[in-house]
Structure 1
């Protein structure tokens, strides 16, 4: 017993089934093929990627797992036509140790090391998603996804906490009554059954003798027939992108949970206890970075669910231009020239599509100048701007051409920055008008981003 206690006290691994950056887990992995050997392995989150290290020893013959990593240029004498063995990392693998199971999804080879004469080697598998506690090898498609998007609650304005303050006869606060009850979900779209789900939890810590109440609004998709991760994430990213536009700041996911209906919670006897939302670790989505409280050009109440549906349609119809604009948030610290080019490409694409929508033929629309395309967008902005738009249109064109063409002088840095800010604001105001934000709201809020 003393020896066991001593070993436990030196344990530096996780205390629960989790993936903590820099904390490795040693266990066994399974590839779903009953004919392949069980193999010990190392699972870890490096802080940039999730990897599984697979060791082998050949003993004079090529090992089964070694074939996953050698690539198509290597020939094996015992399987010249590559029909007896697998030569690619399976899409899914299951890891298991004393803390539980982890299903790895989107697995790919990420390199290998092999000492030919010793027979020892190891390959590295990189996984897109790690589903903690999953016990099914079918997580390549999923029935549900929930995402926590910090900042969303503030923008949506929905709370699960009702507060009632009571004061004494001197007006001093005497008591606060809290009633916790989550409101009904807000339906955003029938596609993927996309909803905003208010949620709260109460946590009691005996270690710190504290009780914490945490509330949030989750983005949720859920479908009867399992769909790809991309289908679910595309729906969630539509919410995230609109939040980016409203605050003009990059938002990211702090937590995500996934559901497969054929992998439910079960009791000790194996009976069905209900849905199991398993925690997900991934670097395939934009992650959350803490920031100060945001200001919004508009809030969810200004557009409602119908406004979100308009946004989804707008996002699809003007995808080429809006993709260029929104790519800024995936590298928000990029060079000033990059942002200027992205915003100008956005104007090019928006103006071209608007010309087509207005009845102009493809040839005529293609021959319109950058200034004409910018003007088409500007004509649909629902408010009066607080700067000279004729001067801005010229400056935007000059700055774009100055950055794009090597035979022209680069514009002044201050002029580029001022122009870029105005470019961003004009597109945001155009988007807001298209999805139903009233001009009075925009007129009241737009001064936070461009003055004068």
Structure 2
């Protein structure tokens, strides 16, 4: 078996935590639907491993004066015959112990870095790469070119697939990180040699001369993902796949270093969102936005996070009722109206005192005449329906009315973002009219 960590994998090997006080022990590394974890055991509760778990619970076991609790390490190294795995972002959760001391506990990890043979601070990488669903299609590039030659006389079709070199796309510096989109490709032979899979890749990459927190990198990657979500209103995924550290360079057998080395990253949730089955037009195409437009979006997202976060995240609420979706999105609308008022010169105090209908009208002032429905009617309906959802002393609105107000609210925010990023109003009006969110929900008639 290669050095892999697929879901359902369980490997037994040695465990290192860079603490001279902890004894050598054998552990089980497992990846399940719950996440990535190491199961570590102990014989007595005086063991430093026991203190990672039992000492945090307040459980009183003899002797009367238990050892001081000990913090679990944030990074640990696992090694077996298949290779080494560095776990980062570790935390203890769950244990089983006998009253006299023997027990086992689980140390969970945020991510696994494959092939690292020393405990390196990969929770603060110098570079991180992720795969964002829909990014390659949005950029309109491919690393493969397909040609087809049809010979009618011989009834023969000859297909050729050639690799294509695409230049790297550099967006610029965001929060001290250099953001790039790196095209790539891969060839994988499956099922012996009967199946060959060609991968067409674009990786979102952030790099910095100084090490940055994992979340600092990921915040930028997820910002790009959120732009794609707003552009065609489809749930997209963002999965970290590679990381690099300056103190983990590529080395040859002679001990010499040869530049940076990108290590494979495994995270607990690496589900890739599937593309839509039917065509969905982008409201904000990259061909019009360009690198500078992506940078402008990330800045806009920072300035209006209180407004945009609730709207964007309302797409990822599995099993949520219409009430929940509108209750989730409503505060975003309120925040957008408030922030626009402050941007227009109103004091924060006065802007905070504005009623909802005035905030919605301010949003409409910024959106203009490009909406595929009547703006003032939407504002009135939103006030009525949203207040009906919020306040128990008012009549509960109809489910279909709630869905339509939520749908239109999201479309208004998407239109506002497109205009803020420089979209042509005439062209945007056409796209909005053709967008799936322009189609209203209708009540069933029996």
What is the TM-score normalised by the length of structure 2?
Answer: 0.90
Structure 2 distance, partners of 1:273, 1:361, is 56
Q: How does 1:15-414 map onto structure 2 within 5 Å?
A: 15-58=1-44, 62-72=46-56, 73=58, 87-117=70-100, 119-137=101-119, 138-168=121-151, 174-191=157-174, 192-205=177-190, 207-254=192-239, 256-283=241-268, 287-293=271-277, 295=280, 296-414=282-400
Structure 2 distance, partners of 1:382, 1:301, is 23
Contact residue 298 and residue 441 of structure 1 kept, 8 A: no
| Of 253-262 and 368-377, the range deviating more from structure 2 | 253-262
SS across alignment from 2:345? coil
Deviations 1:258-307 (A, max 9, x none): 11122133333333344322221223x67423242451222211211111
SS across alignment from 2:201? strand
**How many residues of Structure 1 are paired with residues of Structure 2 in the alignment?**
432
Contact residue 298 and residue 445 of structure 1 kept, 8 A: no
SS across alignment from 1:69? helix
SS across alignment from 1:422? helix
Structure 1 distance, partners of 2:242, 2:37, is 20
Deviations 1:126-176 (A, max 9, x none): 111111112232222101111112211111101222344444477988544
Q: Mark the runs of 5 or more structure 1 residues left unpaired by the alignment.
A: 1-14
Counterpart for residue 6 of structure 1: none
Flag the 1:316–1:405 CA change in 2: closer, same or farther, 3 A. same
Flag the 1:40–1:329 CA change in 2: closer, same or farther, 3 A. farther
CA drift of 1:210 comes to 3.6
Structure 2 distance, partners of 1:344, 1:173, is 60
Flag the 1:261–1:23 CA change in 2: closer, same or farther, 3 A. same
Counterpart for residue 451 of structure 1: 439
| Of 16-25 and 423-432, the range deviating more from structure 2 | 16-25
Contact residue 14 and residue 80 of structure 2 kept, 8 A: yes
SS across alignment from 2:404? helix
Structure 2 distance, partners of 1:249, 1:36, is 48
Structure 1 distance, partners of 2:122, 2:323, is 41
SS across alignment from 1:212? strand
Deviations 1:328-366 (A, max 9, x none): 244244221121122211111011111111111223212
Flag the 1:155–1:172 CA change in 2: closer, same or farther, 3 A. farther
Flag the 1:171–1:107 CA change in 2: closer, same or farther, 3 A. same
CA drift of 1:250 comes to 1.4
SS across alignment from 2:402? helix
| Of 68-77 and 351-360, the range deviating more from structure 2 | 68-77
Flag the 1:436–1:79 CA change in 2: closer, same or farther, 3 A. farther
Contact residue 382 and residue 429 of structure 1 kept, 8 A: no
Flag the 1:91–1:400 CA change in 2: closer, same or farther, 3 A. same
Structure 2 distance, partners of 1:239, 1:268, is 39
Flag the 1:402–1:166 CA change in 2: closer, same or farther, 3 A. same
Structure 1 distance, partners of 2:422, 2:301, is 14
Flag the 1:445–1:274 CA change in 2: closer, same or farther, 3 A. same
Structure 2 distance, partners of 1:122, 1:249, is 43
SS across alignment from 1:303? helix
Contact residue 185 and residue 197 of structure 1 kept, 8 A: yes
Counterpart for residue 8 of structure 1: none
Contact residue 135 and residue 263 of structure 1 kept, 8 A: no
